[in-house]
Amino acid sequence: MSTIIETDRLILRELATEDAREIYNLNQDPEVVKYVKSSPFESIDDARVFLEGYDRYKKEGMGRWACIIKETNEFIGWCGLIMEESGDVDLGFRLYRKNWGNGYATEAAKACLKYGFEELGLKRIVASALAENKASINVIEKLGMTFVKYFEIPEEEEHNGGKEGALYALEKED
């Protein structure tokens, strides 16, 4: 499994089908998926099918990457960059609850921004979160991203449709 990014405490590597159980378990915690748009996987097999079909690394040269604690080899969640339909590149992160509050999301996300600008040559990266998702907004603001606007989460999303989202962006020159 190829390492993409290394930080002080973390390795970010491509997700693989072997991560199906972790991805399934991660999304089973209602607190973890409270502010996200999609439903948890129904089974580990569903997570495996998702990972088998996950072709963003090949197609876009980026994606959500597994976050692994270097010292213990523990899988703590994911962080990464994806190309949205609008053409914007979006930064996102999701960690097991037991790993919250240790600065891991900020550390991983900061490294993803650097990778996006310096290695992928991106000019702009966006991030969005439900306005009520204080932890996520806090991470985004700690990264130095600038508030762009509030927007409504589309009603057709599986979860949180109709709620208020906050969009942030960072330009390379910032």
Ligand X SMILES: CC(C)(COP(=O)(O)OP(=O)(O)OC[C@H]1O[C@@H](n2cnc3c(N)ncnc32)[C@H](O)[C@@H]1OP(=O)(O)O)[C@@H](O)C(=O)NCCC(=O)NCCS
The site for ligand X (CB under 6 A) is made up of 32, 35-36, 93-95, 100-106, 129, 133-136, 138-139
Compare residues 61 and 101 and give the one whose CB is closer to ligand X: 101
Compare residues 45 and 114 and give the one whose CB is closer to ligand X: 114
Q: Of all residues in the chain, what percent are helix, strand and coil, respectively (each to 5)?
A: 30, 30, 40
* Cβ at position 8, least distance to ligand X in Å: 13
Rounded-to-integer distance, Cα 108 and Cα 138, Å: 14
Rounded-to-integer distance, Cα 119 and Cα 1, Å: 19
* Cβ at position 2, least distance to ligand X in Å: 23
* Cβ at position 30, least distance to ligand X in Å: 10
- H or E element: which one contains 141? helix 134-142
Compare residues 75 and 133 and give the one whose CB is closer to ligand X: 133
